[in-house]
Every structure is written in C-alpha cells, then in structure tokens.
Chain A
Amino acid sequence: MAEAKHTDEPTHHEEHIVSPKVYLLIGTALLVLTATTTAVSYVELGDFNAVVALAIACIKMTLVVLFFMHVKYSSKLTKLTVAAGFFTFLVLITMTMTDYISRAWGRW
C-alpha cells in the first residue's frame, strides 16, 4: 500500500540507468560543439561572434544538465528545483543588466 501511494508523489522517480551509448553520444556532441565554437571564433561575424559563442555554450550546458546530470530522467521535484534555480538566476542577471543599460539613458 505504501508502495502504491509512493508512486504518485512528485519525489518519485523510476529507477533509470542511462546507457553508456547515450553518454558517448553526448560526450561526442560536446566535443564537436567545442571544436565548432573555437572554429567560429576565427570567422569575422561582428557582434554575432559573442551571440554564437554563448548560444553554443547554452546548448552544451543543456546537454550536460539533461543527460550527464540525469535531469531528463529525474523526479518532478528535481526538475522543478533546477528550473526554478535557473529562472531565478536569469531574473537576477536581467534586472542587473536592465539597470546598467538604462542608468545613463539619454545622457550619451
């Protein structure tokens, strides 16, 4: 009975062993993305150099978090914790940047 109740809880997660093939695939993808970001930095793209480099970094982070850190296979509680943390972090960064961008508004 305790078992049945337990499966409904947000802390419940199915025992899931990620296969080494997945790890190998993700590891290779991360190495390819590293090579790509270094190669792209040698191409003149103006402001987009920074955009592309940070976009690739975000993709790499997502791959690490979802697969190496097992969040894709985790309980709802873990997923919510991670998502809430990143959301709070983005709010803090955005608000700080908004302040700095607008502080000298019209006084350039």
Chain B
Amino acid sequence: MDSHTLAAQTAETAHTEHEHPPFLRHHFESVEQQRESATFGMWLFLLTEIMFFGGLFCAYLIFRNWYYPAFVDGSHSLHIWAGTLNTTLLIISSFTMAMGVHASETRMRKALVGWCIATIFLGCGFLCVKAYEWHDEWVEHHVPGLNFSPEGFMKVNPDYPADKPLQLDMAEKTQVYFSLYFAMTGMHALHMIIGVSLLTLLTIRAWGGAYTSGHIAPVENFGLYWHFVDIVWIFLFPLLYLISRHQ
C-alpha cells in the first residue's frame, strides 16, 4: 500500500470513527478549544491595531502641545453635533452587534440576520455623517496638500467670537491638526468600510444558517473587531472635538 492510499484511508477512518460538526477543524480537540484559539488570535490582532492607532494618538498629543493655538482653532472649526451624533450611532451599532452575537449563541437565525443588518445600517449612517463633515472641510479649504488656505483662521470664527485671530505662521500650523485629523478619522473610516463589507458577507452566510448551529466564532470575532473600532472613536471624539472647546 503506497503512502497516498494510506493517507486517504486514515483520513476516511478519521471521519467515520468520530462524529464532529463540519466546522470543527481537525487540528482542534473540541469546538470550545477552536473558539478559544480564534478569540486569542483575534485579540492579538486587535493589540497590533491598538499600537497602530496609539502611534497616531501619541503624535496628536505631542503636536497639540507644540502648536496649541493652531490645534484649538482647528478643533473649533468642527461641528460638535456631528461628532456627538456619530458617537451615538456607533454606540448603538455596538449594542446591535452584541445582540447579534447573542442571537448566534442562542441559535436564532432571523434575529442574527436582523441585528447584523441593523449594524450595517448604523455603520453606513456613521460614514454618511463623516462624509458630510469631510465635504464641509473641503468647502472651507481645510484639507492640507489639496486645497488648504490659512485665511479662515486669520479671522474671528463667528461660532467662537472670543477667539483671537491667528498670525499667519500659526494659522499655517493648523495643517498639522488637519493632517492628523484626516489621518485618524480616515484610518478609522477605512476600518468601518472594511467592517461593513465583512459584515455584509457574514450576514449572507448567516441567512443560510451558517452561524446558528454552534459555529459562533466568526460572528463573535467580528463583534470584537467592531467593538474595537467603536473604542477608537470613543477616544477620537473627545480628542478632536471636545477638549479644545473652552481653550
């Protein structure tokens, strides 16, 4: 008997000797072990993501100290209502995603699909508000490298009449604020777009019943990703919109 036939036979007996769910990979002992390994791997990935966004946050804090008046005026040009609305949308979407994981655990197919679709809609709502804000910044010539003009920062902002207009050199430094603003909100939005795309795929498979027969790991780990993106925004919101309000 050559080794190929032997291997084929062994694989076959392995399948017939012990019954196991089709989603359980052979190198795992049990579904529980497979799920735990997937969670562990997902968290390791999220930790690299924390370091990635952490670098941007760190740069933001340092440059905010260096060019403080520019960062305050840059922040004053954002709409607090838009940031608050987006925070609310994301938090509700985290709730609907958590409920989706619950539906997967309790094996309720339609509920799972429903919660996933709700999450997709809330995610898209967030992206729409963000697109509106970016459009606003484009119109106001606040995009460094593409259509930036410091003029807006050399006059009194009507929303903040107590602000003193900036001198030209400091007004130019608002580009540092907006570079970081676009880098951070842009990377965050990219994560949202990837999240919405993945969730659409998951929803289609969930409709077919793939995640309501004990195979929870994909939904659970996507949930971890989605909540992580929510956490990034939880920090972006105060740093970009709120903390300079009174300075």
* A interface with B by C-beta (< 8 Å): 2, 11-13, 15, 17-18, 20, 23-24, 26-27, 30-31, 34, 37-38, 41-46, 49-50, 53-54, 56-57, 60-61, 64-65, 67-70, 74-75, 77-78, 81-82, 85-86, 88-89, 92-93, 96-97, 100
Contact = CB atoms under 8 A, between A and B. Distances in A.
A13 B84 CA distance: 37
Interface in B49-107: 50-51, 54, 57-58, 61-62, 65, 80, 84, 87-88, 91-92, 94-95, 97-99, 102, 105-106
B220 to A, nearest CB: 8
A64 B227 contact: yes
A18 B102 contact: yes
Given A37-B242, A65-B231, A85-B47, A96 B99 contact: no
Contacts, number: 135
A75 to B, nearest CB: 6
16 contacts: A17-B106, A18-B102, A20-B99, A23-B95, A30-B91, A49-B245, A61-B235, A64-B231, A81-B43, A86-B50, A92-B51, A93-B54, A93-B58, A97-B58, A97-B62, A100-B62
Contacts of B97: 68
A49 B241 CA distance: 12
Contacts of A68: 94-95, 97-98, 223, 227, 230
Given A24-B95, A64-B227, A65-B231, A49 B242 contact: yes
Interface residues of B, number: 50
B246 A44 contact: yes
B170 interface: no
State the majority secondary structure of interface residues on A.
Answer: helix
Interface of B: 29, 32-33, 36, 39-40, 43-44, 46-47, 50-51, 54, 57-58, 61-62, 65, 80, 84, 87-88, 91-92, 94-95, 97-99, 102, 105-106, 220, 223-224, 227-228, 230-231, 234-235, 237-239, 241-243, 245-247
Nearest to A51: B243
Contacts of A78: 36, 39-40, 43
A104 B98 CA distance: 48
Contacts of B235: 54, 57, 61
